[in-house]
Every structure is written in structure tokens, then in C-alpha cells.
Chain A
């Protein structure tokens, strides 16, 4: 069976197409950055980052959010956010860090407050995170992304050449910004698992990009006397089936995870699904187009004269 016919000849990198793709990418990036800048809170950060208190409460019957909010307000927890969590019977209560809190008293107070008038309440999860821990996690998360991008740049530079590395990193930055922008625009909860997902997206999208680059290098040598644009176009066409099929199998499992994995893993699945769609697109357009715009050609990949003292290439 085939998803697409063999030997497609789509002109991915033609001047007009490149412009259209560039415009689309720029629009998405502007929308993402605009949302991050204009919102008072750029992202709906989870308590992993902000610190605070989180309760997941299971009620025996469908929960009445209004009365829960009223009860919390009456008990001096006005700033509590109350929302459904997956099922009708599950409720998530979030509180910002409390001044001079005593976790034990607070827990007891919250426990009794959310249970007012409804016996048989199940306190499924309670999390207390101090703001200080949250701040550190934010810093570490940001640092992790920067280091990952840097290492990847170095790897692609060693394996290919700096123009390819620049293309790869441009594609990754593109994916990361749009994925995070999506979370900002749609106000999805951004927690620690989303950071993990974004890093996995970096890995995945790069995977796609590098596979395309690999073929481009091969064709640079095989197809002599052909322009760089043409031989890159051929390479992307040749890899199209593979790119789409791997995308499909990965999306299949992620949709299964989103639908069946439960509410707490949902932001993770959403981030990966967006990231993989965007990443597949970017490895076709952004990465190759950037390298092409930087004037990549077969000469760049010719083996330099080897210094006899140096060990051979890395595998």
C-alpha cells in the first residue's frame, strides 16, 4: 500500500512556494510572540512553576462548581481557581502561594471546605510547591532548552556543515515558538510535562530534518550538474513518504495517549501533537529553505583534505 504515489515531483523549494511558506511561518511566529507579550500572564503556568497549592478532588456525583467556589470564598480562599478536570465528578482547585502558611492547617482547612455538604469526597491529589522551587524549575527548564539547541547545532555542524546547522536550529526554534505560542493563545495549562514534551519535539523535528539533510548530502554527490535547489527538492520528494508515515504512526499513539491517558497527561500529549505537525512541516520547509537561502551547495560538503594526525570521522 502507498499513501502517496512513487516519485512525486512537488516543487517544495520554488521561489514562490518558499515565499508562501515563509509568510505562513512568520505569521504563526508573530501570532505566538504577540500572544506571549500581550497577555498579562504569557502562559497558564502550572504550580510546578508558580508555586502554590493544587487539589484534585473526586466527588461521588457531578460536582457543583459554583457552590465549591462559594464555600472556598467563605473560608477566605477568594483567589482559588476551581475547574473541572476530565470527568464531571473531578474538580481541580488551585491556589497561589499563601502568606505565612502552615501546610498542615491549610490542608485540613481545604479538605473540610471542599467537602462541605457532600460526604464521601475523595482527595485524590494534594500538591504544595513553594514559589522558590517553582522559580528554579522555570530557570532549569529554559536552560535545558537552550543547551539542547546548542548541542544539536554543534552535532549537525560536525556531521554536516554550519549552513545546515543554522537551518536545523531555525526549524527547531520555529517549532518551539509555535508550540509554546499555541499554549499561550489557547490558554492550555503549561506544566513541567509540557517542557518535557517541547524537548521531545525538538528531538523529533530534528530527527526529521537530519534525515532530509542526509538524503540531500547523498544527492549532492549523486546528481552532478544539477542546481542545489533542484537536488534538495528531489531529496525532500524522495523522503516525503517516510516523513509522512513516521508522522502518522507517532500521531496515532499520541492521539491514543490524549484520549485514554487521562487529564493530567493531556497537556503533554497536546504539546507533542502540535509539535510533530509543526515539526514535520518545518523540516520540509524551514530547515531546507534556510540552508538554501544561506547558499548551501555541494562544495560545502566536500571532504576537507585530511590532516594525517587527526582520527577519522565520527561514525
Chain B
């Protein structure tokens, strides 16, 4: 009686070994490191890596290890001084092609790394850093798309020689026609531009109203979020932050987490900035339809600009900060092929005529509305430079008219791409590195002492069976760490609290079993039968008890944000792994030690 088939014992052993293997990367600690990511988003090659290392070695610094992880080069050092010095050198030498970030890298031996194993990542509250929650202005995202339609209809109707006026208000485009008989043709033209649009007849019989469908609006909003996330990722990469996190939250929010960043000031300018450029011809006659007067920045003269945009910020594929031969700060710009073609056609036809660079930015302003101050993004458009087209050019040129700082920031923004819709900051948390370290130390101390207290209690109370439960409890800790490392969930302070709580609760299953065994013995069952019945009869209670706790954990996970999620994840993992260790794990040991032989009494 009470023998496990050997395959089951082997399974328990294999599970435990796997757990130990996955938990292993966490015992090595971390070392100061420099991380290099390709500025164009490509993977770093072995050749590049060896170049980096060679260049450091020629400066007399020998890295402790250098390898490629997730397409980024990671170079580890023995000391912070080496790390800082090397970071500086790499930054000056490879600034054009890479983004260099100082970070901490796990001190894994090569064979662990080669297995693709990683330690748990630590949450911001444990390592310090900045957390920002941004809200995307969905209205503007839709407005922007409507403006695109507006221009497109205008152009198409003009090409078809239909006299018309197009205007947009509250996300409804009204197309007014000079002649009623054009209505059918105009309708066809608009439907041809996008057949999904909802086209209705205007109240006066001479106009059409065009709206986007709910599905289109939804699609547009999703696009705006996705586009914004890509842009934010690019911008964060430009900042040289290691292991940044950019994640969607809910319908219209984006979370940005930047471990190790301490000064959110600079960060905010870069994250929420919406600056972009447009290039337009100056309307010298001043009376073309759609032309408007734009103010100049500073001493720059205001100009009347044509409506047509030659190229805009989203067509810029590369931008860099530089100085002109005359020593003026400038941004060198490279356009994509569509923008380049249009620039070529425009400059070819307009040599000797002036072209302006329009700087567009959304600024947050307080507006009084019904006695309350509200925030609103206000669009400002300023001409930063007007120059005469001296020759034909295509996709590479320079823009001047800014201070050096402005030019540097603009270059980053242009390179990272524009935001599809403006973003507001609704939540910001900065955790200093000293607090992070404190939280880790305190959390682990709480786990150690709590664990020790439970182990001593169990050993005293249930003797040898208590020791077996303790082995299960320890394996459970290993499993929790293993699963956290495996799924890449980051450990937070509430997460540690979840582990602590699991340690206390995980023994419950064993308590149920052992109490049951004691009852059976008191009722006169022989030892082997008591063990068997104890495990058997406690099972339904254990399952019920754990499922109910699991329900609470799942609800927490579904509704919780930030700290609550961290707690729910570790609690859930802990419950699941504890079921295995407390039932199958302890039974396997009990069977090996006591099973299959005659025993007079059991030490429970």
C-alpha cells in the first residue's frame, strides 16, 4: 500500500528539476552593463559586436562578457567605473548607428544564456524608474483623418470640374455643390474615394454630408493607438533607456515604463511632444483658394502659404542634428520616396520661388469652460524658415531657423515619427533607486523570516510529516520563481506580498491532509490505511478551497491595474504550484519513506 508507480516518482523529480533549471538564472545577480541597439531597428550582428569590444579593448577596458540578446548588444563589466567610461566611449564612437544605454544585466554563465533562460524582471518599484500613463486624444485622431478626406474630396471634385465647397465640422464633412445636377456624380466620386463612408443628402438639397462609420472610427482609433505606440517606442529608444516598456492599457491609454530613468522632466518633453514639419510653397499672389497667412516664429516674417503640402513629418524617414557651413544649427532631413518625388516635382517647377517650413506643435492650454478649468490641446503653426528654391532637389536637404536645442529635439522627434494623435499625461510615478533597493531588501527579508517561521512551526507541530511539507513548501517557492521567470512577468512589491501570502496559505493543503491522517489514526485505522485515507479524503476540500481563492485571484487580475495585477499573478501561480507540491509532491515523498512496508506508528 502507498506505493507510487515509478513513472510518477520520476515525473515529480523531472518537474522539480525543470523548476530548478528555470529558477536558476535568478541566483546569479546582476552586473553593470552597456546595451547597444541599432538605431534603425535592425539586429546587431556578431561583426558589430566584435567591433564594439575591440574598440573598448583598445582603450584598455576588458569587458567581463559581451553577447547579443534580443538583437541588442549587451556588454557586461566588472565595475561601474568601467561601465560608465565604456558607455561614454561607445556613445561618442557609434552615435550615428546605435542607441547606447547604461543598464544592469544578469550575470549569467554562458551555458544558461545559451538555453535562453532569463531571471525574473523586477518591477519599477523594485529597481527605480519612471512610470507614465498617457491618454490618447481620440477625437483629434479622428479629426485628422477627416481632414485627409476633406482634402481628397476637394482634389477629386476639382479634377472632375465640379464646382463645390467642402467644409468639416464635428466630424461631418459637408460638400456644397454649385449645381444640383452634379449631385449624383459628386456622390459617385466620394463613394469611389472610400466606399465605406456614410453619404447622406444635405437639408438644402444641394449638398452632401459625409460621415465615417462606427467601424471606421474604431479602426482609426486603433490605428492611432498602434501608431502612437510605435512612435513612443522609437522615441524611448532614442533616449537610450534599457528594457523600456510601452503597452496599451484599456481603450485609449498607453503605459510607458522606463527603468532606471530618474529625471522625468526631459522625458515628458520627448514623450508628449507632437512637433512635426510641413513644407509648403509661398502663395506670392496671395489669393489662391485655400491659402492662409501663417505667423513667423521670432523675427521670421509671416507668409501666405498655399494649401497643398509638399511633404509632411510622416514622410521623413531620417533626420539628424547638424550645423550648416555658416555655423547655423540645422536639421538634415531625408524624405521617403513619395515625399521625395513630390519635392522633386515641386522644386523643378518652382526654381526661384520661395518655400516655407512650417513648424506644427500641439500645446496644452487651460481653458475656462462653465467655471471649470479644463485642459485642451491647441495647435500652433509657425513658419520657422522661408527660403528661395535655388535648385532642384529630391529627398535630402537641410532646414534652419532654430536654436541648437530646438534642432536637437526636432531631429529626435522627426526620426522617431510623429504621433498620430496628441497624448496627455494622466499619471506619473517616479521611484528613486534607493527606495527600489529598500523595497527589495525588505521584501526578501519578509519572505525569509515568514518562511522560516512557518517551517519551524510545521516541523514542531507535525514532526517528520511537517518536514516533508516543508520540502514541498520550498519546492513551491522554486516553482513560483521558475514560472515568473518563464512567463517574463515582472516582480513587484505587491508581488512579493503575494508570495509571502502563498507561503502561509500553501501549507493549508498539508494541514488538511495531516489532520485527516490524525483523525483516521484516532478512529483506529492502521498507519498505512490512515495515510491513504488522509490523502484521499482531504482532496475534495483542498480542491474546493483552492478554486475559491483562485476565483478571487482571477477577478483581481481581470479588474486590477498595476500593483493589484502584480499581486494577483504571484498569488495565482502560487496557488496552482502549491496544489502540485502539497498533494503530489508530499505524497511521493511520504510513499517513498513510509509506503509499502509495515510500520507501527507514523510521525505525524
Check if A249 sits within 8 Å of B545, measured CB to CB. no
Q: Given A242-B511, A246-B505, A265-B494, verify A126-B430 contact (CB < 8 Å).
A: yes
Q: Confirm or deny: B193 has a beta carbon within 8 angstroms of a beta carbon on chain A.
A: no
Most A Cβ at <10 Å: residue of B450, B519, B561: B450
* Given A148-B551, A242-B508, 17 other A-B residues pairs in contact with their CB atoms under 8 A: A108-B265, A125-B429, A125-B430, A126-B428, A196-B563, A203-B550, A206-B549, A210-B545, A211-B544, A215-B541, A245-B511, A249-B504, A260-B445, A261-B493, A265-B442, A265-B494, A265-B497
Q: Confirm or deny: A285 has a beta carbon within 8 angstroms of a beta carbon on chain B.
A: no
Residues of B within 8 A of A199 (CB): 552, 555-556
Give the Cβ gap from B136 to chain A, nearest Cβ, in Å: 14
Q: Confirm or deny: B81 has a beta carbon within 8 angstroms of a beta carbon on chain A.
A: no
Residues of B within 8 A of A239 (CB): 515
Q: Which residue of B lies closest to A56 (CB)?
A: B435
Residues of B within 8 A of A202 (CB): 552
Residues of B within 8 A of A213 (CB): 544
Check if A252 sits within 8 Å of B552, measured CB to CB. no
Q: Confirm or deny: A262 has a beta carbon within 8 angstroms of a beta carbon on chain B.
A: yes
Main secondary structure of the interface of B (DSSP, over half): helix
Partner of A148, one of B265, B434, B496, B552: B552
Residues of A within 8 A of B512 (CB): 211, 242
Cα(A133)–Cα(B429), bound, Å: 13
Give the Cβ gap from A261 to chain B, nearest Cβ, in Å: 5
Residues of B within 8 A of A99 (CB): 373
B 496-536 contacts with A by CB, 8 A: 496-497, 500-501, 503-505, 507-508, 511-512, 515, 518-519, 522
Partner of B551, one of A3, A152, A268: A152
Cα(A173)–Cα(B461), bound, Å: 33
Check if B265 sits within 8 Å of A104, measured CB to CB. yes
Residues of A within 8 A of B449 (CB): 256, 260
Check if B431 sits within 8 Å of A124, measured CB to CB. yes
Partner of A155, one of B435, B454, B547: B547
Q: Confirm or deny: A238 has a beta carbon within 8 angstroms of a beta carbon on chain B.
A: yes
Size bracket of the B interface: 35 or more
Cα(A126)–Cα(B562), bound, Å: 16
Cα(A218)–Cα(B518), bound, Å: 17
Give the Cβ gap from A217 to chain B, nearest Cβ, in Å: 9
B 449-483 contacts with A by CB, 8 A: 449-451, 453-454, 457-458, 460-461, 463
Cα(A42)–Cα(B139), bound, Å: 37
Q: Confirm or deny: B553 has a beta carbon within 8 angstroms of a beta carbon on chain A.
A: yes
Residues of B within 8 A of A238 (CB): 519
Check if A262 sits within 8 Å of B548, measured CB to CB. no
Check if B494 sits within 8 Å of A193, measured CB to CB. yes
Residues of B within 8 A of A140 (CB): 559-561
Check if A126 sits within 8 Å of B429, measured CB to CB. yes
Give the Cβ gap from B254 to chain A, nearest Cβ, in Å: 13
Residues of A within 8 A of B432 (CB): 122-125
Q: Confirm or deny: A225 has a beta carbon within 8 angstroms of a beta carbon on chain B.
A: no
Partner of B555, one of A148, A204, A261: A148
Ordered by A's residue number, 11 sampled pairs between the chains whose C-beta atoms are within 8 Å are: A108-B265, A123-B430, A130-B426, A130-B427, A140-B560, A203-B553, A238-B519, A250-B504, A253-B451, A253-B454, A315-B543
Q: Confirm or deny: A28 has a beta carbon within 8 angstroms of a beta carbon on chain B.
A: no
Q: Which residue of A lies closest to B262 (CB)?
A: A123
Q: Confirm or deny: A200 has a beta carbon within 8 angstroms of a beta carbon on chain B.
A: yes
A233-276 contact mask (Cβ, 8 Å, vs B): 1 or 0: 00000110110011011111110110111101100110010000
Q: Confirm or deny: B270 has a beta carbon within 8 angstroms of a beta carbon on chain A.
A: no
Give the Cβ gap from B257 to chain A, nearest Cβ, in Å: 14
Most B Cβ at <10 Å: residue of A151, A200, A238: A200
Give the Cβ gap from B504 to chain A, nearest Cβ, in Å: 4
Residues of A within 8 A of B426 (CB): 129-130, 132-133
Give the Cβ gap from A137 to chain B, nearest Cβ, in Å: 7
B6-32 contact mask (Cβ, 8 Å, vs A): 1 or 0: 000000000000000000000000000
Check if B457 sits within 8 Å of A249, measured CB to CB. yes
Check if B504 sits within 8 Å of A103, measured CB to CB. no
Check if A246 sits within 8 Å of B508, measured CB to CB. yes
Q: Given A192-B564, A193-B497, A207-B549, verify A252-B427 contact (CB < 8 Å).
A: no
Cα(A200)–Cα(B546), bound, Å: 12
Give the Cβ gap from B390 to chain A, nearest Cβ, in Å: 42
Q: Confirm or deny: A159 has a beta carbon within 8 angstroms of a beta carbon on chain B.
A: yes
Q: Which residue of B lies closest to A262 (CB)?
A: B442
Q: Confirm or deny: A120 has a beta carbon within 8 angstroms of a beta carbon on chain B.
A: no
Check if B500 sits within 8 Å of A1, measured CB to CB. no
Give the Cβ gap from A117 to chain B, nearest Cβ, in Å: 21
Check if B501 sits within 8 Å of A107, measured CB to CB. no
Cα(A99)–Cα(B373), bound, Å: 7
Check if A104 sits within 8 Å of B268, measured CB to CB. yes
Nearest first, the 6 A-B pairs at minimum CB distance are A203-B552, A253-B450, A250-B504, A144-B559, A256-B450, A203-B549
A 207-229 contacts with B by CB, 8 A: 207-208, 210-211, 213-215, 218
Residues of A within 8 A of B461 (CB): 1, 3, 245
Q: Confirm or deny: B567 has a beta carbon within 8 angstroms of a beta carbon on chain A.
A: yes
Q: Confirm or deny: A61 has a beta carbon within 8 angstroms of a beta carbon on chain B.
A: no
Cα(A315)–Cα(B463), bound, Å: 32
Check if A133 sits within 8 Å of B427, measured CB to CB. yes
Give the Cβ gap from A142 to chain B, nearest Cβ, in Å: 10
A107-148 contact mask (Cβ, 8 Å, vs B): 1 or 0: 110000000000000111111111011000100110110011
Q: Confirm or deny: B366 has a beta carbon within 8 angstroms of a beta carbon on chain A.
A: yes
Q: Confirm or deny: B438 has a beta carbon within 8 angstroms of a beta carbon on chain A.
A: yes
Cα(A207)–Cα(B503), bound, Å: 15
Q: Given A107-B264, A196-B556, A249-B507, verify A155-B551 contact (CB < 8 Å).
A: yes
Check if A272 sits within 8 Å of B265, measured CB to CB. no
Q: Given A195-B564, A242-B515, A265-B493, verify A128-B427 contact (CB < 8 Å).
A: yes
Check if B555 sits within 8 Å of A144, measured CB to CB. yes
Partner of A261, one of B427, B443, B508, B550: B443
Check if A253 sits within 8 Å of B544, measured CB to CB. no
Give the Cβ gap from B318 to chain A, nearest Cβ, in Å: 30
Residues of B within 8 A of A1 (CB): 460-461, 463
Q: Confirm or deny: B378 has a beta carbon within 8 angstroms of a beta carbon on chain A.
A: no
Give the Cβ gap from B111 to chain A, nearest Cβ, in Å: 35
Q: Confirm or deny: A167 has a beta carbon within 8 angstroms of a beta carbon on chain B.
A: no
Cα(A137)–Cα(B501), bound, Å: 24
Check if A159 sits within 8 Å of B544, measured CB to CB. yes
Q: Which residue of B lies closest to A148 (CB)?
A: B555
Cα(A210)–Cα(B426), bound, Å: 42
Q: Given A128-B428, A204-B549, A207-B548, verify A122-B434 contact (CB < 8 Å).
A: yes
Check if A7 sits within 8 Å of B435, measured CB to CB. no
Cα(A287)–Cα(B450), bound, Å: 30
Q: Which residue of A lies closest to B267 (CB)?
A: A104
Give the Cβ gap from A41 to chain B, nearest Cβ, in Å: 22
